Structure formats: structure tokens, C-alpha cells
Chain A
Amino acid sequence: MMKPDIIPDLAVSHAKLDADGRLLAADRALLTLNDQAGGALGAALAVPQLATVARLARRLGILVSRAVTVADQDNDLDLWVRVQPEGDGLRMAVSGWRELRARAIPPRPAPTVIEEGALAWETDASVRLTFVSIDAARRLGVDALSLLGQPLTALFALDASGNGGMPIIEAVARRQPFDDQPARLRGGDVRLLLTASVKLDADGAFAGLSGVARVEETAAAPDTPAISSGFTDGLDRALRAPLARIIAHADTIHAEAEGPVAPDYVDYASDIANAGRHLLALVDDLVDLQAVEAEDLALLTEPVDLADVARRAAGLLSVRAANAGVAIARPLPELHVAASGDFRRALQIMVNLIGNAVRYSPEGGVVSVTVSMRGDMAEAIVADQGKGIAPADQARIFEKFERVDPTEPGGNGLGLYIARRLARAMGGDLTVDSVPGDGARFTLTLPV
């Protein structure tokens, strides 16, 4: 889960190249990445994506900026690369090592997703309006054309949000989208909520906002728990079937089961299926989350064989492990360790732990699953040979929606939170110990 701790966490990393594209000097992050790709100082850049940008900038003789995705061991890094010719050589600046990449072209809210009645607007870097959708504005009694070129505040009076902050200001400062800026229409009382994405230019500089204003629903939020059981039940019912259909169709397209398809679309279909699976897993987790957050969380207490649970969980993940080139060492069949708890939930926890371990193991690595008695508790230990977890992060990974490395693909930050809640509800616990660079060990304990 494990952050790429080989690569230092820097905002921007610089490098100098000579006229032939050879690396003369580089900051550590870039140097590390280049070394991993088999390159060295004095030789040509070894990361092909970076070399392509550098070559283009050299040949055009102008600044070239590009978003590139570079594989760093088992992570993909989304990097933003700028190469500027300078004298006889080139100067390279690479950002985005941790944060999401700066996008030169933010996806404009597609026309089809702007629902009837919502007002689309766009501004430039000085937050002056360069576009307002005319019909929507007319319905609100506003002459859009007269507002073009005016500041955004000529159209909307911005209000502080519930916590007293101004989401729009924070969003512009942090260059992140916002979806909850309360506003009123100038010269009227219509309450609106503004949603927008930040446009960034090729240099990553703020180039304006592209947003939508929706008339705010007047109904006050009901005073109910964060997630009601009715909500998750509805979510479960409403999403599971359509998601399953999306995944099935996307898989069909990806497998070209119904005939050949242009290669781009085969790849898109795979992306769609993977995103669908991710969402389906999220639905499962949200349903679990509602269960574990309920005041009266009570789980079955029945005799279970923790060694059997561990073997089954390892069996369930054997295919995924084989695909990743990871071996799982599971408890021997004759081992039996009696514990008490809810069989299904214990299995769920073990699947989560082993699944994580497989995901973060290097190819050729081994995930070992051992089960034993320690004092009056049964314990199952899942150990991997991944990069480990820094001490500072060991508590955080059990928090809701927390992930050590937010850029790492897969996962939604709920698995470990749910697993620990479940373990504690059964009278046991879930803990981690890890030395960075030396793998992580997760220990599930259950009462006998």
C-alpha cells in the first residue's frame, strides 16, 4: 500500500539534457526513475515517454508540455512533463509525483450531462465570464450576452458555505474541482449551487473555471445518520444490476466475443469493465460500512476453524495471485485452530488481507499466511514482501477512506476500516506491524 518510498516526494523534479538528449544532471526523483529504467547520467534518457517529449521539444525548438504515464514498479505515475530548449540543451521539469496530474484540457461538462435547467458557464484566468448558456440564463431571467466579459460575480453573488469557507477560493488555490459553492443570482433571490472544474494550461497555470449552476433544492437535509440503512439497501438494489450489466457488456466488447472491434475501443471496453468492477466493490463496501457503523452491530458467534478460513481465503485468491506472479503459502490442511466468530465475516477479513498482500507484492514474491494460538486468542498472520508501510501511516490506513498512496490504482480506502470494525465486533482485533522496505504483517485475532 505502500508508497513508492524509493522516489522522494517532491513537487517538481528538474533535469538538464544536452543537444543530443543525453542526461547531464537531474534531481533525485528523476534520476531514480531513469535508473530504474536502466539509464544513467551521460546516456540518453531511458524513460521512453520522457525521451519522446524531450526529442519533440528539441526538434521544434519550443516549450513542449505533455501528460505522460510512467510505470514505476507496480505503480503507474501520472506525470506532467515540460521541456524547454535552453542554449544548446534542454531543461526538463517533471511534476505530479504524488498529486493527480495537471490536465491541460479539463473535460468540459459534456452537453448531455448538463440537465435541463442547469446553467453552464465558463471563465478565463481572471475569472471573467467567457461563456454562459443563453437559454438556461433566460429561464432564470438573466441576459447572458450582456454578462460575457464581466466578472463571475456579476452573475452570481457568492455566499460562504456551511462551515464558513468559500469553496471556490479554495478550489482555485488548490486547483481542484468544487461542487458546493452556494451562490445567489445577482438581482434575484434564486439560491444556486455552483459546481466547476479548474482549467489548467500546459504550464499547469490556472486558466479559468468551467462550471454549472443548479438551482438549490430548498428541502433541508434530514437529520439522519451519515448513511442510513435504507440508503445503502437502495444503493445496493439500484446499482448492482446495472453495474453487472455494464461490466458484462464491456467484457464482451473487450473479448471481441461478438466480432472484431477497432483496437481503441477494445481498450476502452477494458477500462469500462475495470471501472465497473471498482464501483461494484465500492457498493459492497458501502453496504458493509453501513452494517459496521450501526450502533447495534452484532455478529454471529459460532465456532470457526481459523486455519480453515485462512485456507479458503487463500484458495479464493489463488488465480489473482498466479496472474500477478505471486505465491501464497497457506496453512497445511491438517492444521486446525478453533476460534469463535462469524464465519462469513472472518472469511471476508482474510480475503481482504490476502488480497492486499497480493496486490502489493513484487512479482515472484510470496505471501505467507500462518495461523496459530497465542495465549487465549487465535491469530492469523498475513505477511507480504512489499515495500512496507511507514510507521506514520500505520494508524492512518485503518481510517475510513484513507489510503497510504492516493495515486495508487484500485481500492477505495474502506477495506481495512471495515475489516478492523468487523474484527472488533467479534471480540478480536486487526493490527499491523511493518518496517518500510521489509514488507507488512497484518494480524487478525479472534477469541476462542
Chain B
Amino acid sequence: MSVGPDQVERDALDTRIIAARRLAARADARLSGMIADFFLDDTARLDERTRVTLGRVLAAVVQGIESEIRRHAARVLTGRGMDAQAEQLLRGHEDIVRRLSRAGLLRDRSLMDELLAQVRCDLIASALPAVAAGPEQTSLLVRLAEVGDGVVAAAARALLSAEAQRRSAMEQGGVVANILPAERHHQLVWWVAAAIREATTTDSAVDQAIVEAAQRSLAAHDEGQRPEAIAMRLAAAIEARPDELGELLIDALGDRRLLLFVAVLARAVGIDFASARTIMLEPEGDRLWLALRAADLDRPTIARIALSLADADPRRDIEAFADDLDAVAAVPLESARNALAPMTLHPDLRLAIDALARGTA
């Protein structure tokens, strides 16, 4: 049997048909996306600034891990005399971010929740109105870094540094390495490793080098160095008395240290940082007012916190809050604490409860 012109034509035809089918599938996916976009509730829609910043942070985190793995794996390979493979790894230019999002991996709820919360916190913190504690008065964090109590001073100094590092990196268009909690970082490192491996010729030595590089990246990750963790350490070191709490929270906002605000609040009502941050970010604020009541804060303090946050976050409605303020201030301490009780459960259990609820909804 000879392979004549007929066969060639048929092959070309097949290719066209396959391509057409692929296009149809793509058009279908596009339509799904557009329908989802159109019916998206306005309150669930990201504003442009948040969307763009989130995109940058996500890309920077992935690319940060990617270049770490590529560089170290190439170093390992060079050490074994495999220069060609090392070169190939270094020069790899596949778009890892796109590959991972196409695979749907970056849609991971916990990962996006964490990054989105960080981005929102940064944007709100940068828009918070600064408040001078008094004429020529030193700002809160600088003051804390100089107190006699060495534990507080060290934590305050660490927070000053960590926040400066994150802001420097943001202004240079990058991201500092340690921004994810350990589990999220762990997961992402292996995803990135898999995507790099996929685009490289299969070779067990290369695989081995990528694994070594990934493990090195995991070992180097210290989630305790994240500003969020440091803020928690500082809040624990301060251990604000109930009568100091309101002033500390207001001073933290006035110093535009939103992470410290969240940490102090979390500490005061006995919930973890991420939960406190979640309720702080909710534009309706209902759970935040409950938390502030659970911390036994009075009406003027709650009002001042609400006003600062509303000034910094356009999603908030201060007039609606003013309508509710009397009711909020009247919530008894016990009821507020009871209402927050589910948030004091183990975070993993809460995740599971939420997942169950989504499943039945």
C-alpha cells in the first residue's frame, strides 16, 4: 500500500477537523466564562486595583519559587557535570503561571483566600488616614520598638523590618519570599516543580535535581518570619489589658499598621490571625463589630475604628454603620462572645464545616 497524495490530504483534513473541534471547545469555555462574569454579583466582583495587584502578587510568588528551583537544580546538575541539562533548565521559559492556572491549580480556595486577604490588607493599610499621636510624638510601632520590655521591643522591631521588606518588594514589582503559610507554600512548591519538570526532557538526573531544589526551598521557608506571624508575636508580647485594648487598636490604625490591629484583635477575642483578618475585611463589618463587642470595647471606640476603616475602604458604608451603631453597642458581652465561639474552633474543622455547607447549598 502506498501512501499517496490522498493520504496526505486526508491527514490535513483530519488536522483541520481536530483543530476545529478544539476551537469549538474553547469557544464553549469562553461562553461559560462570560456567562459567569455577567451574572457575578457586584459585591463579589474584584475592583480593578485589587484584581491587578492580586495578579501581580500571584505571578511574583510563583515566579519567585520557579527561579529558586531552576537556579538550584541547575547548580546541582552543573556539580554533576551535566552542563547541557543545567543550561536547559535555566533557560526554560515556559509560562509556569499560565500552566498552573490552566490546570486549575491556582484556583485553590485556601491559596487565593490567603493572597486576596494579603492584597486587600495592603491596599487598605496604605489608604488608612495617618493619625499623629501628638505633636512630634513617635508613632506606635517605633515607640514599641524602644520600650524596656525586650520581648515587645524585639517583636516590634521585627514587624517594622518585615513590613518595610514587603513594601520595598511591592514597590519594586516583586514579592518577598515568605508570604505564604507553610501548607500553601508546600503545595505551591511541588506544583511549580511539576510544571518545570513537565516542560523539560525526562531524565532521572534532572528529576532528582528538581526534587532537591524543591526540598531546599521548602526547608528554607519559615512562616514565622511572615509579617502576619510577627504581628501575632507582638500582640502576644504586649498582652494588652482590657483597659488598654481600645487605645492600642486605634493607635495601630492611626499608625497604619493594619496587621498589628488584626493581631491585637485576634489575641483579645481568642481567634487565629486569619479569622480575625477575614472578619476585618468583610465590608458589612457585622462580625467585626461583634468581635469588638466581644473584646468589651465601648461605643466611641467601635465608632472610631469603623470610621477609620470606612475612610480607607470604599466598599464600606459608614452611613449604614451609623444606623446600626446603637444596636451594636447594645449587644451584651456574653452574646457577642457566644456568637464568635464557632470561630474559636480548630481552623481545619472550620474549613471542613464550610466545605460541607457549600456541598449542601
Q: Do A and B bind each other?
A: yes
In the complex, whether A56 has a CB less than 8 A from a CB of chain B is yes
In the complex, whether B74 has a CB less than 8 A from a CB of chain A is no
Which residues of chain B from 293 to 328 have a CB within 8 Å of any chain A CB?
A: 299-300, 303-304, 306-307, 311, 318-319, 322-323, 325
In the complex, whether B130 has a CB less than 8 A from a CB of chain A is yes
- Minimum distance in angstroms from B65 CB to a CB of chain A: 20
Q: Is the CB of A207 within 8 A of B131?
A: yes
Tell me, in angstroms, the Cα distance from A93 to B48 when the chains sit together: 36
- Minimum distance in angstroms from B200 CB to a CB of chain A: 31
In the complex, whether A59 has a CB less than 8 A from a CB of chain B is yes
User: Given the complex, which residues of B lie within 8 Å of A208, measured CB to CB?
Assistant: 130, 132, 139
- Minimum distance in angstroms from A128 CB to a CB of chain B: 5
Q: Is the CB of B129 within 8 A of A125?
A: no
Q: Is the CB of B173 within 8 A of A207?
A: no
- Minimum distance in angstroms from A211 CB to a CB of chain B: 14
- Minimum distance in angstroms from A188 CB to a CB of chain B: 20
Which residues of chain B from 119 to 155 have a CB within 8 Å of any chain A CB?
A: 126-139, 141-142, 145-146
- Minimum distance in angstroms from A56 CB to a CB of chain B: 6
Given contacts A104-B311, A201-B131, A124 and B167 within 8 Å (CB-CB) = no
Stretch at the interface among A131-139, A178-186, A292-300, A411-419: A131-139
In the complex, whether A70 has a CB less than 8 A from a CB of chain B is no
In the complex, whether B59 has a CB less than 8 A from a CB of chain A is no
In the complex, whether B172 has a CB less than 8 A from a CB of chain A is yes
Q: Is the CB of B325 within 8 A of A130?
A: no
**Which residue, A132, A144, A148, has most C-beta atoms of chain B within 10 A?**
A148
In the complex, whether B255 has a CB less than 8 A from a CB of chain A is yes
- Minimum distance in angstroms from B160 CB to a CB of chain A: 4
Q: When the two chains form the complex, which single residue of A56, A124, A202, A207 contacts B142, counting CB atoms closer than 8 Å?
A: A124
Q: Is the CB of B131 within 8 A of A202?
A: yes
Q: Is the CB of A201 within 8 A of B129?
A: yes
Interface size range on A against B: 35 or more
User: Given the complex, which residues of B lie within 8 Å of A64, measured CB to CB?
Assistant: 307
Tell me, in angstroms, the Cα distance from A205 to B134 when the chains sit together: 8
Q: Is the CB of B255 within 8 A of A148?
A: no
Residue interface bits A241-272, CB-to-B below 8 A is 1, else 0: 00000000000000000000000000000000
In the complex, whether A199 has a CB less than 8 A from a CB of chain B is yes
| In the complex, residue of chain B having the shortest beta-carbon distance to the beta carbon of A120 | B171
User: Given the complex, which residues of A lie within 8 Å of B137, measured CB to CB?
Assistant: 124-126
In the complex, whether A62 has a CB less than 8 A from a CB of chain B is yes
Q: Is the CB of B138 within 8 A of A124?
A: yes
- Minimum distance in angstroms from A105 CB to a CB of chain B: 5
- Minimum distance in angstroms from A50 CB to a CB of chain B: 16
Tell me, in angstroms, the Cα distance from A120 to B133 when the chains sit together: 23
Count residues of B near A (Cβ-Cβ below 8 Å): 44
Tell me, in angstroms, the Cα distance from A41 to B325 when the chains sit together: 30
Q: Is the CB of A124 within 8 A of B171?
A: no
Tell me, in angstroms, the Cα distance from A114 to B170 when the chains sit together: 12
In the complex, whether A60 has a CB less than 8 A from a CB of chain B is yes
Tell me, in angstroms, the Cα distance from A125 to B145 when the chains sit together: 16
Q: Is the CB of A125 within 8 A of B132?
A: yes
Q: Is the CB of B132 within 8 A of A62?
A: no
- Minimum distance in angstroms from B2 CB to a CB of chain A: 58
Q: Is the CB of A125 within 8 A of B171?
A: no
Q: Is the CB of B139 within 8 A of A56?
A: no
In the complex, whether A111 has a CB less than 8 A from a CB of chain B is yes
User: Given the complex, which residues of A lie within 8 Å of B127, measured CB to CB?
Assistant: 105
- Minimum distance in angstroms from A402 CB to a CB of chain B: 34
In the complex, whether A344 has a CB less than 8 A from a CB of chain B is no
In the complex, whether B88 has a CB less than 8 A from a CB of chain A is no
Tell me, in angstroms, the Cα distance from A176 to B47 when the chains sit together: 32
Which residues of chain B from 150 to 177 have a CB within 8 Å of any chain A CB?
A: 157, 160-161, 163-165, 167-168, 170-173
15 pairs from A and B in contact (CB 8 Å cutoff)? A60-B307, A62-B300, A64-B307, A111-B171, A124-B132, A126-B137, A128-B142, A134-B164, A144-B164, A148-B157, A148-B160, A148-B161, A202-B131, A205-B135, A208-B130
Interface residues of A (CB under 8 A from B): 56, 59-62, 64, 104-105, 108, 111, 114, 120, 124-128, 130-135, 144-145, 148-149, 199-203, 205-208
Given contacts A111-B170, A202-B129, A208-B130, could you give 10 more A-B pairs where the C-beta distance is less than 8 Å? A60-B307, A62-B303, A62-B304, A62-B307, A104-B130, A131-B164, A134-B164, A144-B168, A201-B254, A205-B132
Interface residues of B (CB under 8 A from A): 126-139, 141-142, 145-146, 157, 160-161, 163-165, 167-168, 170-173, 254-255, 299-300, 303-304, 306-307, 311, 318-319, 322-323, 325
